[in-house]
């Protein structure tokens, strides 16, 4: 690890779980400003207090936004651009697991909207600020669950049945194409699998699914373990030399065959542009 002195870091989903721990660790490394984004203001204020206690002297700010709404993502981006003249790290951490199909205010399946479209749009809107702050880093939290997605139902991707593996596959394909588009700018883009971590993502589990979550608890890691790789990608000097990579436990690993398909990455990018237009 290295000092984050002078750095401005934005962590979505930073009010709980891996995001909260990631934000705290970046603050402990000396970041000048850590900005956490969450939907719940009360939980956010509690997170800010905790992080300030762990890293006194660091500016810790809270921004609220519902990442299922594209209008909210745009408002969030506008607020970031207005308040912060530089952005060194963007950690796209916010995510949900939905067991039932629900549509957002924009008419998209909620899990796809939150897990993919929100970070896609936020990164797009903050791109120039990141480039202007280079060297900078974009980090997106994916999952090894992406390997369960064997094909992409392009016609139903945004409005079909919920699929966590597909949304996490989208995170990797987004990172691959983003890295390509950022070539020569001084901004690197990488994604990661945090491991099986005890967070609030499974809080909506019911019935048999709830039993599975309970049975897995003895084998689930802590949020500190889950935050280790995003903190590494945000702070380690050697991580600034890699772009378009997929990481686990601080090491670059190979994602699924489909996740390495450059044509799929380009097609997803074009579709996402249409969906957020």
Residue 164 a catalytic site member: yes
Residues 6+ apart with CB under 8 A from 78: 125
Q: How far apart are CA 2 and CA 51, in angstroms?
A: 19
Whether 190 contacts 245, CB under 8 Å:
yes
Report residue 248 as tokens: 């686990």
Catalytic residue among 108, 164, 232, 246: 164
Residues 6+ apart with CB under 8 A from 143: 164, 165, 168, 171, 193, 194
Closest listed residue to residue 255, CA positions, set 169, 140, 165: 169
If you search the block for the tokens 């749009």, which residue do you land on? 121
Q: How many residues does the chain have?
A: 277
If you search the block for the tokens 């930073």, which residue do you land on? 14
3-state secondary structure at position 139:
strand
Query: To 10 degrees, the CA torsion angle through 167, 69, 16, 86?
Result: 100
Number of separate helices (H) and strands (E) present in the chain: 9, 8
Which residues does residue 36 pair with via DSSP β-bridges, in sequence order? 11, 62
Q: Is the peptide bond before 135 cis (omega within 30 degrees of 0)?
A: yes
Cβ neighbours, 10 Å, residue 254: 9
Q: Annotated catalytic sites, by residue? A: 164
């Amino acid at each position: 690890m290295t000092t984050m002195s002078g750095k401005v870091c934005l962590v979505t989903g930073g009010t709980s779980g891996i995001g909260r721990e990631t934000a705290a660790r970046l603050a402990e490394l000396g970041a000048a400003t850590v900005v956490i984004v969450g939907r719940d203001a009360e939980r956010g204020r509690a997170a800010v207090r905790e992080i300030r206690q762990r890293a006194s002297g660091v500016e810790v700010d809270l921004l609220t936004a519902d990442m299922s709404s594209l209008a909210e993502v745009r408002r969030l981006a506008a607020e970031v651009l207005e308040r912060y003249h530089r952005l060194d790290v963007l950690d796209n951490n916010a995510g949900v697991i939905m067991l039932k199909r629900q549509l957002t205010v924009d008419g998209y399946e909620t899990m796809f909207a939150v897990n993919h479209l929100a970070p896609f749009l936020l990164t797009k809107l903050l791109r120039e600020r990141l480039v202007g702050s280079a060297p900078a880093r974009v980090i997106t939290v994916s999952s090894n669950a992406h390997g369960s997605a064997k094909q992409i139902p392009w016609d139903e991707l945004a409005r079909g049945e919920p699929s966590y593996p597909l949304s996490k596959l989208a995170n990797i394909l987004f990172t691959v194409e983003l890295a390509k588009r950022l070539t020569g700018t001084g901004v690197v883009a990488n994604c990661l699998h945090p491991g099986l971590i005890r967070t609030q993502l499974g809080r909506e589990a019911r019935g048999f699914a709830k039993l599975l979550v309970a049975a897995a608890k003895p084998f689930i890691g802590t949020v500190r373990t889950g935050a280790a790789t995003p903190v590494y990608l945000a702070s380690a000097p050697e991580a600034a030399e890699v772009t378009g990579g997929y990481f686990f436990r601080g090491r670059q690993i190979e994602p699924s065959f489909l996740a390495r398909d450059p044509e799929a990455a380009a097609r997803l990018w074009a579709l996402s542009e249409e969906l957020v237009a």
